[in-house]
Copies of this chain bind each other. A is one copy, B any other.
């Protein structure tokens, strides 16, 4: 029914082994023979059987990408960056790897489930993006899974989360704490003193690090604040909106708000608009990340640019072995933060 390697071999008058070699291009084959084989492949409209190939070679051309929320443009960009970088060895047409995007929704269980599923697929590599959950038990479980994956030959890349000990996983960490410091310093320099903070979900490395940076900047400037001015929630627009409304009710003298990420910042803008406040005249909004849609669509946004897309791309490259993994398997991206935007000084 379906065309197999053997069929191609028969038509090209060579052995299956030769056809395999031509197709994989990793073995010397006489030019004339190659032509003959390629011709047969074309005539029979042959398509390699991936599973069979993966079974025999003990590795597949699938690359898993774990994201918290694929509907969030942030992760979409990450996924896209990874996808564009995972061309396989040789880089010939059709020899590309396939990205398996796994939506964990921030759930620890699903994270583990997907890791198992990818292990089952004998994935060539797995890229975990976004902040890690800070639960000792879960961290240990993930570490175990990653170790097992690595043992089975799967390259592991952590993008935007801290390295995992005892693993040869490549870690691309972002300087979230430094970003938090810089963002808040920026607002302080403009004269803001009452600053609300819409933080991400609790028990997340990104949330904690960014908040730490925020507090450090305030302390450094001798500005006192209170826990009242911090509200936690998921990285979505609804949270930004509700949290901002809550902050306004708690402290009507706020002049600025820091949002955990761009999506949250958009929600914050919506809440301010609904409250009849103008941005940035009445309240300035500053957000992390640098998503394309926020940059000029919401010019009031101060953006701390964490070069995530580029980093993801680089992570993909590292994962694919086209670049040596840095010593220790850890590579911290930092010092590349950019503060910009059009936040304004608080009204006199």
Measured CB to CB, the residues of A under 8 A from B are: 2, 45, 47-55, 60, 62, 69-73, 75-77, 79-80, 83-84, 93-94, 96, 98-103, 113, 116-122, 148, 152, 236-237, 241, 263, 266-267, 269-270, 273-274, 292-293, 296-299
CB pair A47–B94 under 8 Å, yes or no, is no
**Sample of 26 A–B contacts (CB below 8 Å):** A48-B120, A49-B55, A49-B120, A50-B120, A51-B51, A70-B70, A70-B80, A70-B101, A71-B73, A71-B76, A71-B292, A73-B76, A73-B293, A84-B103, A94-B113, A94-B116, A96-B117, A98-B118, A100-B101, A101-B101, A236-B292, A263-B293, A267-B296, A267-B297, A269-B297, A270-B299
Query: With A93-B113, A293-B266, A297-B266 as given contacts, are A60 and B71 in contact (CB-CB < 8 Å)?
Result: no
A167 to chain B, nearest CB (A): 17
Chain B residues within an 8 Å CB radius of A69: 80
Chain B residues within an 8 Å CB radius of A117: 94, 96, 98
> What separation, in Å, do the CA atoms of A241 and B53 have in the docked complex?
47
> What separation, in Å, do the CA atoms of A70 and B99 have in the docked complex?
12
Chain B residues within an 8 Å CB radius of A297: 237, 266-267, 269-270, 298
Chain B residue with the shortest CB-CB distance to A262: B293
Copies of this chain, count: 2
Please name 17 further chain A to chain B contacts, defined as beta carbons within 8 Å, in addition to the given A50-B120, A72-B73, A99-B103, sorted by A numbering: A50-B122, A62-B62, A70-B76, A70-B80, A71-B77, A71-B80, A71-B292, A73-B73, A73-B293, A75-B76, A76-B76, A98-B118, A266-B293, A270-B296, A270-B297, A273-B299, A274-B296
CB pair A60–B51 under 8 Å, yes or no, is yes
A240 to chain B, nearest CB (A): 9
Query: With A73-B73, A76-B76 as given contacts, are A122 and B51 in contact (CB-CB < 8 Å)?
Result: yes
CB pair B54–A51 under 8 Å, yes or no, is yes
Chain B residues within an 8 Å CB radius of A263: 293
Chain B residues within an 8 Å CB radius of A113: 93-94, 96
CB pair A98–B102 under 8 Å, yes or no, is yes
> What separation, in Å, do the CA atoms of A232 and B298 have in the docked complex?
24
A190 to chain B, nearest CB (A): 21
Partner of A70, one of B83, B270, B296: B83
CB pair A52–B50 under 8 Å, yes or no, is no
> What separation, in Å, do the CA atoms of A298 and B70 have in the docked complex?
22
A199 to chain B, nearest CB (A): 19
Chain B residues within an 8 Å CB radius of A48: 120
- Nearest 6 pairs of A and B residues by beta carbon: A51-B54, A71-B76, A266-B297, A101-B101, A270-B296, A51-B55
CB pair A296–B241 under 8 Å, yes or no, is yes
Query: With A47-B116, A83-B70, A266-B293 as given contacts, are A98 and B121 in contact (CB-CB < 8 Å)?
Result: yes
